[in-house]
Structure 1
Amino acid sequence: MFNLQHKTALITGGGSGIGKAIAELFAAQGAHVFILELSQANADDTVKAIESKGGKATAFAVNVADQEQLKTAAAAIQKITGRLDILVNSAGISHIGKLETTSAEDMDRIFQVNIKGVYNAMYAVVPHMKQQGGGVVLNVASVASGLGLVDRFAYSMSKGAVVSMTLSVAKDYIKDNIRCNCISPARVHTAFVDNFLAKNYPGQETEMFEKLSKTQPIGRMGKPDEVASLALYLCSDEAAFVTGSDYPIDGGFIRLNT
């Protein structure tokens, strides 16, 4: 089950965090993984990790905010492999702040990456999927898309847009055999969390880590590998009947918090 042999998977933000975990798992399941990443060094690190375990991966230095870069990359990958089977939009950035502490520059930065980046990648890849007779798109949203989280004004806005784009693409391309879903993680323990705590709570990292962990009823943060496992299912042939849905992976955050 969940065999991705002979499939081509494009993963934005595959150089770190959730995107890296997804890339490594997809490669382990047989896909040729293409890492579309702003940082060439991070992309190369993921490729090395995959190749060290016998997987197949290729790095592309791409700014998801630049549509032409993504179109060029998609065309190049299609020429290499002949197919674009899977697109995972994992690239994203965060911003801490409410309305009054979110500048126009902050809003533009979030928009360019979290919203336009997802749009750009789908705009570049979906026509190839349509031409070849189908494909799978998976977008990484967040529990913030449907909840009021403190100091997440711009970030929540952007993830709400990701969910809306997911539903639109699923509806518009269902007859083209293109499935489109999204996943909405709660807090996942990545380097971003560690850096955030070190910057904002120096000397209190352990205490604050525990506090943030317990906001999930399950009592801990998620692991990138756990999110990757859900992504694998949704992008596999076993999920052929699944489209147009948002899947929380949140340790009970949405339904069980009181």
Structure 2
Amino acid sequence: MRQAMKFYQLRLRPEGNREWNWALRSLSERQLLAAAEYARRNELLERMVETSLRTRTEFDYSQRFPAPHNEILQPTARNLSLDAAWVYGLIRQESRFISEARSGVGAAGLMQVMPATGKWVAAKIGLGDFVHSMLHDVRTNITLGTNYMNMVLENAGGSQVLATAAYNAGPTRSRTWRGLLEAPMEGAVFVESIPYSETRTYVRNVMSNATNYAALFERRPQSLKARLGTIAPRGASSGLP
């Protein structure tokens, strides 16, 4: 693990991950939780989550569902009337909280914002000095990502399911899939009808994450079925969580 840390310090994440995973191979569940805590203390939240997910009988949900940057995300979400649990659920799926994450197609930062999307949203909200490198700044990334989530949510009639699909596959595809409906459909059934396996898995994971975050934030059980709601045909209002 110390060797893995040296790789992380050199920004050699793949090499660090290999060393880290090798160190985990013979650990007990209690030792895995301790290793996850070690990752947390070294601000390696992605390693913390992945390590904690290896346990089967002992669980630490604060490790599995961390909520960093709360001082930025909570007021930003509140100002947009967005569900913070949903935002955290999306970030957990998009980047596992790696602020310098970058996808093969150029999406960047915590919320994996595409450069063109970031530029468009920045213009919409009056962020006039935007440049692509700002996508790796936590505050800017959260600001742009949450505003985009809010835009696709409004376009989706308030349905988190449709908005989540739009965030991954684009608003046009999400509208097309909704347009195929002739009658209201349970959200869970609609998710399974999404033709793209990547988006189908993505929506499942984000909505499940959001349900777990809501349980942690509100300190009471949550219903995934209620959060998925009902998806109405275009021209009608979708059922809200």
TM-score (norm 2): 0.27
Name whichever structure is richer in strand by fraction.
1
Work out which structure has the larger RCO, using CA pairs closer than 8 Å and 6 or more positions apart in sequence: 1
Name whichever structure is richer in helix by fraction.
2
